[in-house]
A and B are shown apart, each in its own frame.
Chain A
Amino acid sequence: MKLFSSFVKELKIASRGFYFYIEIFMALLILVLFLFVIPDNFDSKKSEYIYLDMPAEGSEIYLKAILDESIEGKAEEVKVKINKEEKKASLYTTDNSRIYILTSREDTIYMADKERKIAAIIGMDENYNFHYEYYLQGYESARYKDLLKILHVHSSDVIEEAMDNIEVRPLLINYDSLSDRENMLPSILVFNGSLMGLFIIAAYIFLDRQEGVIKAFALTPTPVWQYLMSKIGVLMLTSIVSSFIVLLPLMKLRPDYLLLLVLLITTAFFSSSLGLLIASFYKDIIQAFGTIYIFMMIMILPNIAYFMPSWNPIWIKIIPTYPMLEGFKSVILGSGDTSYVLSISAGFLFAGMILFALANHRYKKTLVV
């Protein structure tokens, strides 16, 4: 009953303050951006600018080869702005790229030099052999440059044949995946829920310190842990509300919401307890800001591994936000690994309990500080 009274009081204070609305506002802003601005899948097609420096017969052969790969099977007549002038070009769209066939060597070099685009000039000698001039920007990797050097050792027919003879066999085909937009959601949940919780609970504590109310609370029969837990309760609720604001309209019924609730509660408990413990060492938010900032930066690092799976060192897996991201991804997929989510939830609950016990011990000792 006392815990509930404290929770209601904290909820009233939070609803009359500034921080509560930051999270809700951010959730609504994210939702609007995701619904109306961010596409479901990002366009990863490269734009290439090519000039065919060869007789018409040679061009026809080359263009036919490109046409065979194009999605629509035809070229589109477009205009490309080159040196403040709109010039005609033919556009071929394939699975991986947009190929603009320009009408002059100078225009092609201009696109590479001034517009920093991928450009090439393909010529033909008197023996009807193709030769290639690639215009690079300087940042290309050595591997890419080496590939270009050996690419034309044999004719394209030989390379094509060799590629056709290589079989690529996926080991798993019936797996669920998220769209590019959906794939960003775990990161949003971790940041807006857990990491903001770490910062906001510290802000709440410092506000109470400034007002001295924690001293008055300490002179009641109600234990200090209930005071701390009521604050965590508010953070949990905010985390749940802001996460559902984002997820429900975007993911509809696909995620396992019960599992999501378990993960949200345990991760919010963990990060709020961490925030409480950090705040217990400082008198005000200005003093604590450096430490909170360092912790938040460390917690953000696993996002790099999440979005760039090729960079995934072992040490990054120790940072708590790594399993948080994987857990939220699993939940959002809907058909995710329930036992994995439950096991990391248990881990966060256990770690949160240790942090909370330490924080409680610190606050009992530092009430008049």
Chain B
Amino acid sequence: MITVKNLFHSYNKDGNYQVKDVSFDIEKGEVFGFLGPSGAGKSTVQNILTGLLQLQQGEATLGGYDVKNMSKDMFNKIGMSFEQSNVYSKLTAKENLHFYGKLFDNPTRDPMELLKLVGLADKADIRAGEFSKGMKHRLTFARSMINNPEIWFLDEPTTGLDPSIAADIKDIIKQKNKEGITIFLTTHNMFIADELCDRVAFIVDGEIKLIDSPENLKLQYGDKLVKVEYFQGDQVLQKTLSIVLPEDKELLRNIIENHEIRTMHTKEATLEEIFIKVTGRGLI
């Protein structure tokens, strides 16, 4: 559905590239996470794919359309939820969606239905300028669905939202993915990526360091550990032991046989830990 080959981009066109030799493919119906710290080049790649930035070097296709020569039809098939909310503050929530819907050639969704979906139905007639940051973000998210996109670009879709709203947004994303929509998710939130993505790409300094599924990454890079808390007399002791190393396995067996266990958990490496391990960089 999305193909990117040897993509380079330099804002000053001076050979100092902000995106360097980026290549990847995204299958139809896949949720692809583009992960990296701020300034890594995530938004640049996304802006090139959506036509907001001109493709300078390399190849990219979106739903069969060449990104270099953007077709009007292609825009009917894509949706984009921006990280920075960008709605008309002087228009009401409903007017914002109603106007945006008129700009597409294909049938669009009912604004009220979308507002209901993101929990803004009771705020439909209030001007977006009076909204909180989170409400504007939800309106921007709702707007990205107005044209029933086949390819959905989501830039930090849950940033700044309270946990219950973020959970609702994640449910909507999962539901849309079940309907077969291809999702390109840009984020630095590894928990979201872990929960939603079929595959993730780690991007640092404009280069993709790795592409794989979260499960494979955990298997490949995560340490197989057990964290155990047990009683020794009146004291509660805690140990983190490898289930691979023979001496740790022996120690674990000894603890189980001779002590009362308080808690015991297997400890999986998080995507964030793997990211740091692979790229040598944090996510902030």
Which of A1, A5, A218, A219 is in CB contact (< 8 Å) with B99?
Answer: A5
The stretch among B15-23, B101-109, B168-176, B201-209 that forms the contact with chain A is B101-109
Is A221 a contact partner of B52 (Cβ separation < 8 A)?
A: no
User: With A12-B95, A13-B88 in contact, is A217–B103 under 8 Å at CB?
Assistant: yes
Minimum Cβ distance to chain B for residue A368 (Å): 5
Q: A16 within 8 Å of B by Cβ? A: yes
Residue pair B100, A220 in contact (C-beta under 8 Å): yes
Q: Is A29 an interface residue (CB 8 A)?
A: no
Would you list which residues of chain A between 208 and 256 have a CB under 8 Å from chain B? 211-213, 215-223
Asked whether, in the complex, the Cβ of B87 is within 8 Å of the Cβ of A9, the reply is no
Nearest CB of A to B81, in Å: 10
Q: Which residues from B are CB-within-8-Å of A84?
A: none
Q: Once bound together, how far apart are the Cα atoms of A13 and B95, in whole Å? A: 11
Residues B203-221 near A (CB distance < 8 A): none
Establish whether residues A222 and B103, one from each chain, have CB atoms under 8 Å apart when the complex forms: yes
User: In the bound complex, do residue A215 and residue B91 qualify as a contact, i.e. CB atoms below 8 Å apart?
Assistant: no
Which one of B53, B84, B85, B103 lies within 8 Å of A221 (CB-CB)?
B103
A220 touches B53 (CB 8 A): no
- Would you call the interface of chain B mostly helix, strand, loop, or mixed? loop
List chain A residues, Cβ under 8 A from B87.
Answer: 211, 213, 216
What's the minimum C-beta distance from A233 to chain B, rounded to whole angstroms?
15
Q: CB of A367 within 8 A of chain B?
A: yes
Q: Does B188 have its Cβ within 8 Å of any Cβ on chain A?
A: no
Q: How far is the CA of A352 from the CA of B72 in the complex (A)?
A: 26
Assembled-state Cα–Cα distance A13/B53 (Å): 28
Min distance, Cβ A361 to any Cβ of chain B, angstroms: 12
CB distance from A170 to the nearest CB of B (A): 58
Q: Does B134 contact A (CB under 8 A)?
A: no
Are A219 and B80 interface neighbours, CB within 8 A? yes
Contact of A219 among B78, B85, B88 (CB under 8 A): B78
Report Cα–Cα, A318/B104, bound state, in Å.
Answer: 43
Contact (Cβ within 8 A) A367 B88:
no
Please list 15 pairs of residues, one from A and one from B, whose beta carbons are closer than 8 Å in the complex, sorted by A's number.
Answer: A6-B103, A13-B91, A211-B86, A212-B82, A212-B85, A213-B87, A216-B87, A219-B51, A220-B100, A221-B72, A221-B76, A221-B105, A223-B72, A368-B47, A368-B53
Q: 8 extra interchain contacts, Cβ-Cβ under 8 A, other than A6-B99, A365-B54?
A: A9-B88, A13-B90, A16-B127, A215-B86, A216-B87, A219-B50, A221-B73, A222-B103
Binding site for B on A (CB under 8 A): 1-2, 5-6, 9, 12-13, 16-17, 211-213, 215-223, 365, 367-368
